[in-house]
Amino acid sequence: MKDYATTIARKPLPVGKLIIHLVFVALCIACVFPFLVIIGTSFQNENDIIKFGYSIVPKNFTWDAYRVILHSPGTLLQSYLVTIATTVIGSIVGMWVTTSYAYAISRKDYRFRSFLAFFVFFTMLFHGGMVPSYILMVKWLGLKNTMLALILPYLISGWFVMLMKGFLQTIPEAIIESAKIDGAGELRIFARIVLPISKPALATLGLFFALQYWNDWWLTLLYVEHDNLMKLQYLLIRVLKNMEYLNSAEAIEYGLVKPGMLVPSLSARMAMCILAAGPMLLVFPLFQKYFVQGLTVGSVKG
Amino acid sequence: MIKLIKRNAGLSMLALPGFVLIIIFNYVPLYGLLLPFKTYRYNLGIWNSPWAGLDNFGYLFHGDALYRVLRNTILYNMTFIVLGTTLSVIIALLLYELSRRFVKAYQTILFIPYFISWVVAGFAFRSLFDMEYGVINRLLVSLDREPILWYSDPKYWPYIIVIAAVWKGLGYSSVIYYAALMGIDSEYYDAAKIDGASKIRRAFSISVPMIKPIIIMLVILQIGSICYSDFGLFYNVTLNSSLLYKTTDVIDTFVYRSLIDLGDIGMASAAGFFQSIVGFCLVLITNTIVKKINPDNSLF
């Protein structure tokens, strides 16, 4: 046993492998470095930012930026609420609509199977474009400044249907046949048999949906003007573009800084980014497993 | 007839909600393809607005805007297709050489940029490129070099945009190819090993040919959307700075600006029409060519 361990230890790491590892370590650093700068800067003292620029390690650690934001968190909380509501509703409804459609076109004995499959596949090839969709939403459906505008457009998409179809096709026909013989209706078979055995695929789909709704700012940009319907990511766009997170008059009024002190607006911007994006950045990697599974099950070939 | 309906009623009911949504959000807007041929009036609607002939296209083709956005869009997408695909395949091949433990760790980290929105990516890039406080300019200053005005000089942006796109998408696309590699029967490799093929030889003679169908499929889809761009990348990472439009304005940002900022529906819809038609033709052409060469690799 001991001999075995020493032989392994003595065996030099092949140069090729070492190079591969170095490549990946470099890539990984490139992936996380900017985020570390954002985190570091959010804890930095405003004077230090002006003097030394953004940096990973704060010279003088301070919570000022977070204190300023959380002192009047109304906008942030409202955006969280809108984002959570649209994400939950959109993901659940979207999963139902997508999976039930995909299930129908995955069933070989379904008469309208090929028509409906082509019907959805075609949408992946040809789009009407931004302008007609905008007129449809705003003028015909009258959805400007409504929560529905933030949900409806993403409920079903060709990609997701094809992904689920690829998975649902692998369900053995015998299972469905036997349920049919027992006299179960299609809806019952779908809800009681198909959905439970599709849990891994549903997890993947749910993750895709949640990611899409959570990270969306496009629908807000197009269809929402009211501040109380602003999604988190859109709030961040505003913060990103405006140099000043809050102006000094406001800050003094709120009693956050004394006259003559610098308002931590640069660090507050970064802190805002952390508060808005941080939670999801921690949650999504946990579900990465389903993500990778999802990519392997579905084939998009029509 | 009744029997036919009855037998398919259950599944049709299941497909119905999706069917309705697809009609409303994907097919009804196709009616809007009439728009560029009309002088759109909000009070009259699409159908009753007066015909404009090809005027809208005239305006579009007349200025130099179309040439600029078309060139940017296509050049960027071609770069993304070539560079993105090559790098993803290389990364997947490298991952394939490593043990599961490392693969998982590296993948998790490479996936981080994929999970964030382009807005947060905008923050990430700004923390590096900010002209006053950004890490890069501070580094340049400390090396006694002049700071660079990143957000007002278009000449650097082709590189930054490509880096941003690769940075964000590499984790995802390399996983797709890695998954495809995992599906290859290990017997091929064993046989090659016995024949004395080197690792690099095995990668090029077994791995790459085996995942070729999926590479081709993804490339076709990308070619089909060569006229479309990731709006978020060009809008958020550039901070939508008008000084950079020379190298960062693409069809999507142009259409958006014409529609929302200028309210020029004619111009916006003409550009959108152009995008839809050219995009569709490109998928058909590419698919036909692939089908001729190898029917198994075609998309449909």
User: Could you say which of B31, B33, B123 has the minimum Cβ distance to residue A38?
Assistant: B123
Q: Please judge whether B107 and A292 are an interchain contact, meaning their C-beta atoms are less than 8 angstroms apart.
A: yes
Tokens, residue A264: 């931590």
Count of residues in chain B: 300
Mutate to test the interface with A, among B22, B244, B277 (most CBs of A within 10 A): B22
Backbone angles phi, psi at B263, to 5 degrees: 65, 20
Where is mean pLDDT largest: A133-147, A233-247, B3-17, B280-294? A133-147
Where is mean pLDDT largest: A4-13, B60-69, B88-97? B88-97
3-state SS record for B20-62: HHHHHHHHHHHHHHHHHHECCCCCCHHHHCCECCCHHHHHHHH
Q: What is the DSSP letter of A287?
A: G
Confidence label for A269 from pLDDT (cuts 50, 70 and 90): confident
Query: How far apart, in whole angstroms, are the C-alpha atoms of residue B13 and residue B120?
Result: 41
Query: How far apart, in whole angstroms, are the C-alpha atoms of residue B54 and residue A211?
Result: 41
Decide if pLDDT at A302 tops 50. no
The pLDDT value recorded for residue B134 is 87
Q: Touching check for B291 and chain A: CB below 8 Å?
A: no
Cβ-contact A201, B200 below 8 angstroms: no
The pLDDT value recorded for residue A14 is 81
Mutate to test the interface with B, among A131, A171, A244 (most CBs of B within 10 A): A131
Sequence spans of domains, chain B: 55-297
Backbone angles phi, psi at A45, to 5 degrees: -75, 140
Q: Touching check for B44 and chain A: CB below 8 Å?
A: no
User: Could you say which of B102, B115, B119 has the minimum Cβ distance to residue A284?
Assistant: B115
Q: Please judge whether B232 and A217 are an interchain contact, meaning their C-beta atoms are less than 8 angstroms apart.
A: yes
| Minimal C-alpha gap between B233 and chain A (Å) | 12
Confidence label for A252 from pLDDT (cuts 50, 70 and 90): low
B84-142: pLDDT as tens digits: 999 999 999 999 988 888 998 898 899 889 888 999 999 899 999 988 888 899 999 98
Strand, helix or coil at B172? helix
Backbone angles phi, psi at B146, to 5 degrees: -70, 135
Closest alpha carbon to B124 in A218, B116, B132, B253: B116
Confidence label for B242 from pLDDT (cuts 50, 70 and 90): confident
Mutate to test the interface with A, among B108, B116, B117, B151 (most CBs of A within 10 A): B117
The pLDDT value recorded for residue A185 is 86
- Percentages helix, strand, coil for chain B (3-state, rounded to 5) are 80, 0, 20
Residue B80 CB partners (closer than 8 Å, separation 6+): B162, B165, B166, B222
Strand, helix or coil at A258? coil
| Minimal C-alpha gap between B267 and chain A (Å) | 10
Closest chain A residue to B42, measured at CA: A139
Cβ-contact B49, A149 below 8 angstroms: no
Q: Touching check for B215 and chain A: CB below 8 Å?
A: no
The pLDDT value recorded for residue A245 is 53
Query: How far apart, in whole angstroms, are the C-alpha atoms of residue A280 and residue B157?
Result: 29
Burial class of residue A297 (count of CB atoms within 10 Å of its CB; 0-12, 13-18, 19+) = middle
Q: B51 forms bridges with which residues in the sheet?
A: B38
Confidence (pTM): 0.88
Closest chain A residue to B97, measured at CA: A17
Confidence label for A26 from pLDDT (cuts 50, 70 and 90): very high
| Minimal C-alpha gap between A106 and chain B (Å) | 10
Closest chain B residue to A300, measured at CA: B299
CA dist list (Å): A181 to A174, A176, A188, A195: 10, 9, 13, 19
End-to-end CA separation in angstroms for chain B:
31
Decide if pLDDT at B2 tops 80. no
Residue B152: what residue type? S
| Minimal C-alpha gap between A42 and chain B (Å) | 11
Q: B38 forms bridges with which residues in the sheet?
A: B51
Strand, helix or coil at B290? helix
Which one is the CATH code of B55-297: 3.40.50.1370, 1.20.1050.10, 1.10.3720.10, 3.40.190.150?
Answer: 1.10.3720.10
Count of residues in chain A: 302
B220-240: pLDDT as tens digits: 878 878 888 899 999 999 988
Decide if pLDDT at B165 tops 90. yes
User: Could you say which of A129, A270, A277 has the minimum Cβ distance to residue B272?
Assistant: A129
Residue A296: what residue type? T
B8-55: pLDDT as tens digits: 888 899 999 999 999 999 999 988 888 888 888 777 777 788 888 788
Tokens, residue B199: 């690792």
Closest alpha carbon to B120 in A240, A211, A65: A240
Cβ-contact B74, B226 below 8 angstroms: yes
Backbone angles phi, psi at B18, to 5 degrees: -65, -40
Query: How far apart, in whole angstroms, are the C-alpha atoms of residue A190 and residue B127?
Result: 49
Tokens, residue A273: 């980014």
The pLDDT value recorded for residue A89 is 97
Cβ-contact B146, B126 below 8 angstroms: no
B171-183: pLDDT as tens digits: 989 988 998 888 8
Topology of domain A74-226+293-297, per CATH? MetI-like fold (1.10.3720)
The stretch A46-56 carries a mean pLDDT of 84
The overall average pLDDT reported for chain A is 83
Q: Please judge whether B259 and A133 are an interchain contact, meaning their C-beta atoms are less than 8 angstroms apart.
A: no
B262-290: pLDDT as tens digits: 888 888 888 888 888 888 898 888 888 87
Query: How far apart, in whole angstroms, are the C-alpha atoms of residue A292 and residue A279?
Result: 21
User: Could you say which of B22, B32, B115 has the minimum Cβ distance to residue A128?
Assistant: B32
Residue B209 CB partners (closer than 8 Å, separation 6+): none
Tokens, residue A181: 């013989």
Tokens, residue B100: 């599961």
Q: Please judge whether B138 and A105 are an interchain contact, meaning their C-beta atoms are less than 8 angstroms apart.
A: no
State the helix-helix crossing angle for B265-293 and B55-62, rounded to 10 degrees.
80
Query: How far apart, in whole angstroms, are the C-alpha atoms of residue B132 and residue A47?
Result: 13
Query: How far apart, in whole angstroms, are the C-alpha atoms of residue B113 and residue B254?
Result: 26
3-state SS record for A106-151: HCCCCCCHHHHHHHHHHHHHCCCCHHHHHHHHHHHCCCCCCCHHHC
| Minimal C-alpha gap between A248 and chain B (Å) | 20
Sequence spans of domains, chain A: 15-72+232-279, 74-226+293-297
Closest alpha carbon to A155 in B19, B21, B20: B21
